[in-house]
Amino acid sequence: MLRKGLILFFLFLCVLSINAQNDSITTTYQLEGVKIYGSKKPINALALLPIQTFDNQQMQQLGFHRISDAVKYFAGVAVKDYGGLGGLKTISLRGLSSHHTAVSYDGLVLSNLQAGQIDIGRFTTDGVAQTSVALGHSSALLQTARHYASAGILMIETDGKAFLYSNKNTSVNGSLTFGSFNYYQPSFRLWQKISPKTSIGANITYIKSKGDYPFILKNGRLITKEKRQNDDISSLNSELNLFHLFKEGVLLHSKVNYYHSERGLPGGVILYNHDAKERLWDDNFAFQTNFKALLLDQRMQMKAILNYSYARNKYVDLGSKYPTGMLKEMNCQNEFYLSSAFAYTLSSALTLSLSQDFSLNKLLESAAITAHPVRFTSLTALNLKCHYKHFKSEGTLVSSFSSEKTKNSSSTLTRFNLSPSLAMSYALLPNNSLLMRLMLKSCYRMPSFNELYYLKFGNTKLRPEQAMMVNCGLTYKGLLCNKAKIETTVDVYYNKVKDKLVAFPSLYVWKMVNFGKVNIYGLDFTTNIFLLISKSFSLQGTLSYSQQQALDRSDRATYSFNKQLPYTPRHSAHCTLVAQLPWLSVGYSMSTNSERYSMMQQTSEYRLAPFTEHSVTFSKDFMLKQVKMMCSLTLQNITNQQYDIIKYYPMPGRQMRFTTSLTL
């Protein structure tokens, strides 16, 4: 009923748009424009939808070397980490699975239909202008339909566009990071202007680590000191970029990316098992062209994206448990993706946009998936923004159509769904510093290829997972005094998930089924404070707190009914503080989580103890003639706290990272 009501309300907004145009200002004065180029820092506290951001300077001052290190400090965000550098790292929002969270890289939502989730551990902070996490979708006018279709999105934006508009003709950056457990990370970036309207860029990052960090193993009363085994990683990430400005407001951006990694999979620490011989190789290639233009005196905007991506992974495990002494699996994914978006400004109060995505995905050459599925997907998103005095609203309707066929079946499986959403805010004070906001959003996610077709585990009769999200909050942006600024948000939310996809034990093996129903209640609180003490001394701090109840509501007859979902802490808090001194920058970060359970049985056997991790970073920028030099030293987990995010996968203890970079 709620979803149908949202659809009717969205259509009602479209009808009202005609009347709203009458309230627009009819007398205009044409003034000479002034062009200002630079990076605009978003005011998250005034956003219609909850959004949290770290820019490049903050990530550098806090010693965040990977995107996964940064986003875990956002409220409502959970990063599942299977330990070490080579472990899988996925992001999820507000108790929903990681499949509901999209990952956007320079405006393109990445896809992995085999697993249904993106490993964010591959992304470093080198060359990243800012990273953000938004509930629902971002506030950008032109977005792909994939953005609108997601429950939440992680956005990673690189710094290439800023160089195109800068006064520099050449920019070169080289950096070297090394640290504990034989960690080594050199990187190089080059930007060059071919002409005033054309620039090219290249960057490459290499990471190598043995990953043999120590940990303490407890088995009853016996406590021993061990080292993580088979946790090494070597990876290479390279990228080429081309920017061309045809004329003011008409921009072409092409990108080629290649990523390769080889890593050991250490497995869980169970019964002193050191016989970990699993290896994983990943190769990812992607080509993307993005064209954006302003038309009709900037009243109309359009954007088109063409993308091809190829992903190949090879998994090998050695052991006598296999008849041939080895298990080898290879999977290849191909995706052809086309997206277009149009936005038209109807009046000063109304903007209408339409996004259309087409994608074709193929999965081939897998020993565990013999169906060789092919899926065609069409996503259409219609969005209407309204702004009248102190009131803002935004309605979105997403239409999803998919057609799927396998080698083993002559029939074609089709699915269709409508997902509406509505967001509103109202300024309670005349200066718009205090806002009240409300969001209702319906979304769903298709089963991944693994969930549908994986040998003995998949279930071809799965239905898409449905989710309804409700958010209500207050936001404030203002001054504490002449030299202190504050941004604060408080949001309460309710998420309801039905047809939840879970692994359920059948007679001999586990099967994916639509079994779960989950109710999620929570509260997110964020504060960002900036204090300017003097011209050369400032303090900037962030604080986030989340309280969450994610309750299983599937079956009253089961022991798990009304119990907290596994790996979901009821309380989590994070804070950062950066002191900018005349001679040094000092950054401090803290992250804490309450107890969790790895299974629905909430007994001591499955309990994960609460933990708190503290880190500190010292950094300094120097100018050596025309060369900018930066040095930083990061001490992570300075109290040497041992903890697991995933049970039996211990996280590293105390460690050090030292980085030096040169930019000219």
- Dump pLDDT digits (tens) for 524-571: 999 999 999 988 899 999 999 999 999 988 888 888 888 898 889 999
- Which tokens hold the place of 155? 């956005």
Is pLDDT of 417 > 90? yes
Give SS3 for 135.
strand
Is pLDDT of 32 > 50? no
Considering 445-454, 455-464, 596-605, 613-622, the range whose residues carry the highest mean pLDDT is: 613-622
- For β-strands 644-646 and 611-624, DSSP reports them as unpaired
pLDDT at 578: 96
Is pLDDT of 3 > 70? no
Q: What is the percentage of the chain residues whose pLDDT exceeds 90?
A: 61
Give SS3 for 489.
strand
| Contact call for residues 422 and 443 (beta carbons, < 8 A) | no
CA 426: distance to chain centroid?
28
pLDDT at 36: 44
Residue 631's DSSP bridge partners are 620, 660
| Contact call for residues 552 and 515 (beta carbons, < 8 A) | no
Q: What is the percentage of the chain residues whose pLDDT exceeds 70?
A: 91
Question: Which of the four pLDDT bands, split at 50, 70 and 90, describes residue 598?
Answer: confident
Is pLDDT of 150 > 90? yes
Say which DSSP state 66 is in.
Answer: B
Contacts of 232 (CB under 8 A, 6+ apart): 86, 209, 210, 211, 212, 263, 264
- Which tokens hold the place of 258? 């290649």
- The whole-angstrom separation of Cα 275 and Cα 277 is 6
Say which DSSP state 97 is in.
Answer: -
Q: What is the pLDDT of residues 327-338, one digit of tens each?
A: 888 999 999 999
- Which tokens hold the place of 214? 């120590």
Is pLDDT of 5 > 70? no
Mean pLDDT along residues 588-617 = 92
pLDDT at 87: 72
Helix (H) / strand (E) element for 159: namely none
Helix (H) / strand (E) element for 506: namely none
Using CB atoms within 10 A of its CB, is residue 113 exposed (0-12), middle (13-18) or buried (19+)? Answer: buried
Q: What is the CA radius of gyration of the chain?
A: 25
Lowest mean pLDDT among 24-38, 134-148, 408-422, 590-604: 24-38
pLDDT at 38: 43
Is pLDDT of 629 > 80? yes
CATH T-level assignment (fold) for domain 2-19+40-663: Maltoporin; Chain A (2.40.170)
- The whole-angstrom separation of Cα 416 and Cα 401 is 5
Q: What is the pLDDT of residues 84-93, one digit of tens each?
A: 666 788 999 9
- The whole-angstrom separation of Cα 144 and Cα 396 is 12
pLDDT at 327: 87
- The whole-angstrom separation of Cα 129 and Cα 165 is 14
Is pLDDT of 247 > 70? yes
What mean pLDDT, rounded, does the chain reach?
88
Contacts of 603 (CB under 8 A, 6+ apart): 597
Exposure string for 413-422, b = 16+ CB within 10 A, e = fewer: eebebebbbb
Lowest mean pLDDT among 89-103, 358-372, 388-402: 358-372
Mean pLDDT along residues 398-417 = 90
pTM of the model: 0.90
| Contact call for residues 122 and 90 (beta carbons, < 8 A) | no
Q: What is the pLDDT of residues 508-534, one digit of tens each?
A: 556 788 878 999 999 999 999 999 998
Mean pLDDT along residues 596-625 = 91
pLDDT at 509: 59
Of 107, 118, 117, 130, give the one whose Cα is nearest residue 59: 130
Find tokens 């820092």 and name the residue.
41
| Contact call for residues 406 and 157 (beta carbons, < 8 A) | no
pLDDT at 397: 97
Considering 155-169, 405-419, 451-465, 485-499, the range whose residues carry the highest mean pLDDT is: 485-499
pLDDT at 510: 64
Is pLDDT of 399 > 90? yes
Mean pLDDT along residues 305-314 = 95
Is pLDDT of 22 > 60? no
pLDDT at 507: 46
Is pLDDT of 119 > 70? yes
Give SS3 for 371.
coil
Mean pLDDT along residues 13-25 = 43
pLDDT at 37: 44
Comparing 13 with 298, the larger pLDDT belongs to 298
Is pLDDT of 103 > 90? yes
Mean pLDDT along residues 286-314 = 93
Residue 423's DSSP bridge partners are 394, 439
Find tokens 């109807």 and name the residue.
346
Question: Which of the four pLDDT bands, split at 50, 70 and 90, describes residue 35?
Answer: very low
